[in-house]
Amino acid sequence: MKRRKKRIRKSICIILILVIIIVLILIFKKDKINIELIDNLNIEVNSTITNLDLIKNNNNYKILSKEEVIDTSKLGNKDINILIEHNNKEYNYNININIVDTTIPTIEYKDYLTTTLGNEIDLLENVSVTDNSNEDIDVSIEGDYSFDKVGIYKLYYVAKDSSGNVCKKEFTLEVEDSNMVDNNTDDIIEFTTSKGFSGITKNGVTYIDGVLVVNKTYSLPDDYGNGLTSTTTNAFYKMQAASKLENLNIYLSSGFRSYSTQDRIYNNYVARDGKEAADTYSARPGYSEHQSGLAFDVNQINSTFDDSEEAIWLSNNCYKYGFILRYPKGKEDITGYKYESWHFRYVGVDLATKLYNNGDWITLEEYFGITSSYEE
């Protein structure tokens, strides 16, 4: 009997405990606040958003917090406190947001720029960048180009913000020969050299791989040229200044020559030495590099200059300033001219370094795979 009473008491206790648990669950369930947050708690930097935008107000509760704009100017985690009333009780609800920067910068630019040979322009002059980070962002240029080489260059403006977001926009730079601009574009001949370089002759002016070529095969129109290019003279002055540090005296003796000037010089040599001899050391009118505005003679224009300290220094250093020894010794059958220690041609540092060939000069004819010979 006693055992039965104990079992009854135990059962009653269990039932009471279960009732209490159920009541507590109902109370907890009744006071539970089901707050739905916005789908994405990653907020872009410097975006406009309020604390109330973080909650979907579609449940049976009242938001007591005033609407306030959240400061999103700094990257990183941020805690937002929301005061909510539910069943006459107030609750502080903390929402953690992460302020991020995933937006790439925007570049304003011109997609096609033009200039003439030797005329440097500021490729960043009309370029601007905006970004949601409000930071100052520098723009760089990606790709190879040269103001000293005719061609069409595909380049890129690149802007990168501090968060690593990169914007890359393609643009084109066209470098034209001022003597070919606005001329008749119908007179165009395209070809490929024996070394695989692309060549083009437009209105009587020939470029191979973007380099102006003048020799006994490739001539210039009689109205081409109006002086040494600014790029050529500026490079010469730098080279001249460097030579002075070595106590050397290098100076221009003959720079640009017009078609008519070369005609007079050549025919005087022919009258004196005969045509065959004159062709070994003087160019026919229209075939002289001097008319290109890219070539010149220095100091003594004869063999007395060959063994001078200036000639030796120039042969070993001119490439550093974009010049080549145009008619090296032992290359007479290739260039068509005898050795001229005083004649230099501007081609730019990159090509000049290749042709220097560690002191064993390569000619333009050898490099491009072209000839230098008159048709008659």
pLDDT of residue 336: 96
State both tokens at 297: 């003679």
pLDDT of residue 325: 98
State both tokens at 135: 């930071």
Residue 193 DSSP one-character state:
-
First to last CA, the chain: 141
Residue 343 DSSP one-character state:
E
pLDDT of residue 39: 46
The residues that bridge with 174 in the sheet, in sequence order, are 114, 152
- Count the Cβ atoms, other than its own, within 10 Å of residue 303: 12
**For residues 177 and 372, what is the distance between their CA atoms, to the nearest angstrom?**
22
- Count the Cβ atoms, other than its own, within 10 Å of residue 176: 16
pLDDT of residue 66: 79
Task: Please pick, among 36, 85, 142, 340, the residue that the annotation labels catalytic.
Answer: 340
Nearest in space to 344 (alpha carbons), one of 355, 330, 358, 360: 355
**For residues 41 and 355, what is the distance between their CA atoms, to the nearest angstrom?**
61
Four-point Cα dihedral 143, 148, 151, 156, nearest 10: 20
Active site residue 67: no
pLDDT of residue 285: 96
- Count the Cβ atoms, other than its own, within 10 Å of residue 48: 9
**For residues 289 and 296, what is the distance between their CA atoms, to the nearest angstrom?**
8
Q: Is 66 exposed, middle or buried (0-12, 13-18, 19+ CB in 10 A)?
A: exposed
* Torsion angles phi and psi, residue 168, rounded to 5: -130, 120
The residues that bridge with 90 in the sheet, in sequence order, are 85
pLDDT of residue 74: 87
pLDDT of residue 59: 57
The residues that bridge with 159 in the sheet, in sequence order, are 139, 167
Q: pTM (2 decimals)?
A: 0.62
The residues that bridge with 140 in the sheet, in sequence order, are 158
Nearest in space to 331 (alpha carbons), one of 311, 360, 374, 288: 360
Q: Give the type of residue at 107.
A: I
Could you report the per-residue pLDDT of 137-176, keeping only the tens digit for each?
Answer: 889 999 999 888 888 888 999 999 988 999 998 888 988 8
Could you report the per-residue pLDDT of 85-112, keeping only the tens digit for each?
Answer: 777 777 777 788 888 888 899 888 887 8
pLDDT of residue 186: 53
pLDDT of residue 30: 46
**For residues 235 and 231, what is the distance between their CA atoms, to the nearest angstrom?**
6
**For residues 217 and 280, what is the distance between their CA atoms, to the nearest angstrom?**
14
Please identify every stretch of the chain with a pLDDT value under 50, giving residue numbers as ranges: 29-32, 39, 182-185
pLDDT of residue 179: 66
**For residues 119 and 148, what is the distance between their CA atoms, to the nearest angstrom?**
8
pLDDT of residue 376: 75
